[in-house]
Amino acid sequence: MRHLLDIIDWSPEELDTLMDVADDIIAHPGDYADTMRGNILATLFYEPSTRTRLSFEAAMLRLGGHVIGFADAAASSVSKGESVADTIRTVACYADIVAMRHSKEGAPTVAAAFSSVPVINAGDGGHNHPTQTLADLLTIRREKGRLNQLVVGLCGDLQFGRTVHSLISAMSRYRSIRFVLISPDELRVPEYLREGMKAAGVPFTEVERLEDVMGTLDVLYMTRVQKERFFNEADYVRLKDSYILTAEKMKLARKDMTLMHPLPRVNEIRQAVDEDPRACYFKQMKYGMHMRQALILQLMEAAK
């Protein structure tokens, strides 16, 4: 059974194929309107979500399928102590494909081990968020015209930011990529990712000041400092405003730089920046829905 648990489970060639399908969906949406008729997607969201959950639901509905599931684990038998293994075996009796978000790293992998239908990791703790990375890759490819020969800046919470972890893993496999990692020392990228980049021969630099590198970037990927990942609220309060991107700071960037953010934002991008043509985070959301459409189609085809 094919699943999407970690972005590196899928080769760059397979990811390129998904993006090709998403491009075709964008160009010819009517051709896909009934492709999932009679099929059911279950969304099991143990953590709060707006964009990811709604984009999965919209993706399945736009393909002509149906959606069941829960947006609050407290409203399910999880509140009675039911295990992930038992939940997935139950849900697989009713649905043809499952998207799961969980606060514990590895929970979707456990679910996949017990599931008779495809499982999609919609985010597991501070570890991984492969479908956000699908949205990110399509955004970069459509905005820059390529996924190679790029300088990619990642700014903010790089320690707990699962979207950052997945994007680094994915883009490290493309040619001539260089990362600029912008964070306070306490929120640096985890050691395993630094070692992975070194092993793959992917160059990266680590800096604390965004202003010092703005003019060198092809892509700037902003992230929020995530309160829910901190054990100590005082640390969160001290670090939460480390980076605030303003219209004035955007003047330091290249005229063709692509600005991205996985959202939600708090105050790390001022609303005035939304009017800048380089700001692509709302496009990014819509591209995410189309990539999830392509992913559902691919997994359901593989499950036949």
- Quick check: 231 pLDDT over 70? no
Per-residue pLDDT of 123-136, as tens digits, reads 987 678 999 999 99
Whether 179 contacts 152, CB under 8 Å: yes
Q: What pTM does this model have?
A: 0.92
Asked if 7-127+288-303 and 130-284 have one fold, the answer is: yes
Hey, what CATH class is 7-127+288-303 in? alpha beta
Q: How far apart are CA 201 and CA 118, in angstroms?
A: 33
Which two three-digit tokens encode residue 55? 């984009």
Other CB atoms within a 10 A radius of the CB of residue 275 amount to: 8
**Looking at residue 235, what is its pLDDT?**
52
Task: Return the CATH number of the domain spanning residue range 130-284.
Answer: 3.40.50.1370
Domain ranges across the chain: 7-127+288-303, 130-284
Task: Write down the pLDDT at residue 230.
Answer: 46
pLDDT digits (tens, 9 = 90+) for 173-227: 999 999 999 998 888 899 999 999 999 999 999 999 999 999 999 999 999 875 5
C-alpha span between 280 and 262 (Å, rounded): 10
